[in-house]
Structure 1
Amino acid sequence: MQIVHHPDSVRHDPAQYFRRGSLIAHPEQAARYILLRDAARDAGHDLVEASDVGGASILAVHDAGYVAFLREAWELRGELGEVGDEILTGHFARPQMHRQPEGMLGLLGLYTADTSTPIRAGTWEAIYGSAQAAVCAAELALAQGHAYALCRPPGHHAYANSAGGFCYLNNTAIAGEHMRRATGGPVAIIDIDVHHGNGTQGIFYARDDVLTVSVHADPANYFPFFAGYADEIGTGEGAGFNRNIPVVHGAGDALWLAAVRDALAAVAGHRPTALVVALGLDASQDDPIGVLQVTREGFATAAEAIAGSGLPTAIVQEGGYLCEALPHNLVAFLEAFDAARK
């Protein structure tokens, strides 16, 4: 399989994260990219460096003001006075707050949803490179049947105008919209990250040309908390084009795979022209922040099932955090997908 990546992925490397009352080492570190890239290369897959195809596919799903903020925020940090290695805020907008502020501290609260998405010196370059990998993998998938985008930082928690959950630009949505425009037909997205793809859902929630299906841990007491429930089906023209399949914590392979097959049945019923897989490896039993207890064999079985759709498929890396099993789970998924397509 061709593995599309961008070396600028390492330029965003946050050190700490405030989680459940404590400062911990940030789970979404640059080492993820290196570990996954090297594992794919060593398993015999072809590495392809993403070319710069510009920002049109980013702006197709993201608000222009938000993208400009991400691009310019670090250069404008002087407005905040003396700062360290990153800028954050503790002042976040709520739905009833309807005016856009002018100052950087307020804009940080407008365009970010939590403290997991700091802006650092290389943040823009990393997230831009990650988005380029998603677009280039989408192109390869349409031309050759399938490809994998090693996107890091991840993207599926990013809304059209908001960063959150380690995510800034929604690589999965960017790939999906790019494929929809290229094919002229409907596209489907299956998200198998342990966390609900709330940003992807938000971007397409009122549309009937992109089916979004997310298999994830029950969010009642798990991130993203406020979205990911089964009664969220879309709105307006998008009614019926969003499907959430929450899975009980500790589910293991059998329940999780049943949900993945349910998701694939939903995709088949909508007859899309192409498919995007938001590949979260944090459903693993070994993941430091996961809760679903999926084994390596479970990921391989899911890959075989997804490959069976026969659709042009762009596989976009989402979650999956530093642990010994992480690179092995990726290789198992990619090899099983490749084998099923031969």
Structure 2
Amino acid sequence: MLTFFSEGSRQRQARSELHDGALVTPFERPERMDLVLAALSKAAFEVRSPSDYGLAPVLAVHDADYVAFLENCWQAWQAAGHAGEAIPNIWPARTMRGDRIPQSVSGQLGYYALAAETSITEGTFAAAMASKDTALAATDHTLATGEPTFGLCRPPGHHAAVDQFGGYCFFNNAAIAAQRALDAGKRRVAILDVDFHHGNGTQQIFYRRDDVLFASLHGDPDVTFPYFSGYTDETGEGVGEGFTINYPLPPGTSVATWMAALDEALAHIHRAECELLVVSLGVDIFEGDPISAFTFQHVDFIALGQRLAAAGLPCVFLMEGGYAVEDIGVNVVNVLQGFEEVTQGVK
């Protein structure tokens, strides 16, 4: 399976993440990509660099003021004399106004952030641009050839909403890819999110639309980040009613139970007559992941790939989470090889 990856994604080198009340080295770091690349090389996957697609595809799904904020935040933060990385410390909470964007970069951080764990640093905007280029190159190849592709996106994207960042995500790569396919003539696209954490941003972007079906299997938001989205009663609004499907699952969910939910999601995708499948591929459903709570083992990722291939749709895989760094490459390659075993007829 052809893979795309941009070296520009390394430009984000964050040092700080707020985790369990302490500033720690971020779980989402460039070394994750090195381990995936090593596993891809060992499995003889071809890896290509993407072209520069510019800002137009980003602006097709994200608010222009939000994009400008991301582009200028680090410079503004430094100009304000702050010593550390840009981390929000206040939000327009329920008892405060949310209809004004402050002039202060500190206030802007709170307006545009959905959580406090993700810092903005030098190179963050450039890395986000490189990541969406990776997603677009993979999507374009699948649209042109019908062949499956893998976009090794970093930073990930599924928590990024129309005008908010968080959960390590700045631009929503899956949403950008889906919009690209629609603009190319696809009538309806499915985004299937298998990351342990709910893809709140992807859901928000398409919640009132019927040209993208969003289905997500994730940890129960009663006890799992991002907590405030991903419940079963979130099914879309207006013409989008019925085109959002959530499967919140409790910690320790068995692989068999998870796979049954996947089969149900794929049945919805089939009934909706989707013409392209974009998979938000989070391998943090692995039993050894440090910030997740599902029970997948290495072999189960092969079965995941096989089930996705059985859907019979052109498919674009885009990297999301996965933080057990010693295993992340194995798990990614197992999904892709499982998919190819079905599509290429390997016994």
TM bracket, shorter-chain basis: over 0.9
Contact 2:193/2:217 (<8 A) preserved:
yes
Matched, 1:59 2:59: yes
| Unaligned residue ranges in structure 2 (runs of 5+) | none
Give the structure 2 partner of residue 329 of structure 1: 331
Give the structure 2 partner of residue 23 of structure 1: 23
Counterpart among 173, 183, 187 of residue 181 in structure 1? 183
Contact 1:117/1:168 (<8 A) preserved:
no
Give the structure 1 partner of residue 223 of structure 2: 221
Deviations 1:14-57 (A, max 9, x none): 22321222333210011111111221122100001011022211
CA distance in 2, matches of 1:223, 1:104: 26
CA distance in 2, matches of 1:322, 1:286: 6
- Secondary structure of the residue aligned to 1:136 is helix
CA distance in 2, matches of 1:10, 1:322: 19
Matched, 1:91 2:90: yes
Give the structure 2 partner of residue 70 of structure 1: 70
Give the structure 1 partner of residue 2 of structure 2: 2
Give the structure 2 partner of residue 122 of structure 1: 123
Contact 2:62/2:163 (<8 A) preserved:
yes
| Unaligned residue ranges in structure 1 (runs of 5+) | none
Give the structure 1 partner of residue 290 of structure 2: 288
Give the structure 2 partner of residue 135 of structure 1: 136
Paired-residue identity, %: 38
CA distance in 2, matches of 1:82, 1:227: 32
Matched, 1:111 2:112: yes
Deviations 1:72-95 (A, max 9, x none): 1122223421423x2122012236
Report how far residue 117 of structure 1 moved.
Answer: 2.1
Give the structure 1 partner of residue 307 of structure 2: 305
**AA paired with 1:132?**
D
Q: How does 1:213-292 map to 2 (within 5 A)?
A: 213-292=215-294
- Secondary structure of the residue aligned to 2:93 is coil
CA distance in 2, matches of 1:67, 1:97: 18
Matched, 1:200 2:199: no
CA distance in 2, matches of 1:65, 1:248: 37
Report how far residue 181 of structure 1 moved.
Answer: 1.5
**AA paired with 1:11?**
Q
Counterpart among 189, 192, 195 of residue 190 in structure 1? 192
Contact 2:287/2:296 (<8 A) preserved:
yes
- Secondary structure of the residue aligned to 2:171 is coil
Report how far residue 294 of structure 1 moved.
Answer: 1.1
**AA paired with 1:293?**
T
CA distance in 2, matches of 1:24, 1:52: 33
CA distance in 2, matches of 1:131, 1:229: 28
Deviant stretches of 4+, over 4 Å: none
CA distance in 1, matches of 2:205, 2:285: 23
CA distance in 1, matches of 2:76, 2:15: 21
Closer, same or farther in 2 for the Cα pair 1:322/1:12, shift >3 Å? farther
Report how far residue 153 of structure 1 moved.
Answer: 0.7
- Secondary structure of the residue aligned to 1:301 is helix
Give the structure 2 partner of residue 154 of structure 1: 156
CA distance in 1, matches of 2:77, 2:25: 24
CA distance in 2, matches of 1:82, 1:200: 32
Moved more, 47-56 or 193-202: 47-56
Contact 1:286/1:323 (<8 A) preserved:
no
Contact 2:287/2:295 (<8 A) preserved:
yes
**AA paired with 1:12?**
R
Q: Please tell me the root mean square deviation across aligned C-alpha atoms, in Å.
A: 1.3
Moved more, 110-119 or 330-339: 110-119
